[in-house]
Structure 1
């Protein structure tokens, strides 16, 4: 059976998608190098896994216009 790829990822899953630990991932998000989580429901924040994939392609991510891609 194949694994399901989430549309929205928890912090730990988003970090794993980039092959890094949560502490490193969190620091890069806080410094503005990685996209922030989006609140998908009151009190529930997740990272858009498509945004994480766009990092590899150098594509622009909504809400990160200040980053020079």
Structure 2
């Protein structure tokens, strides 16, 4: 059986998916260049993997109001 494809990513995994260090990722989120994670349960924040993919391809301009392009 193949590996599962994640639909949500932790902060660390989201950084790895974008080939960024955790420090770079946090700076880009704090600077408004990447979207903030979503709190899916109290204290549990995750990033939508599809959103990260749209950022990488440049298709995230619409619907990403919390990102300063």
SS in 2 for 1:32: coil
Look up the match of 1:2. 2
CA deviation string 1:16-60 (max 9, x = no partner)? 000111000000000000010001112111011111001122223
TM-score (norm 2): 0.82
1:1-69 to structure 2, matched below 5 A, reads 1-60=1-60, 62-64=63-65, 67-68=68-69
Aligned length: 68
What stretches of structure 1 of length at least 5 have no aligned partner?
A: none
Q: 1:43 to 1:30 in 2, by over 3 A?
A: same
- Gap regions ≥5 residues in structure 2: none
User: Aligned equivalents of 1:46 and 1:66: distance in 2?
Assistant: 16
Q: TM-score, normalised by structure 1?
A: 0.82
How large is the RMSD of aligned CA atoms in angstroms? 1.8
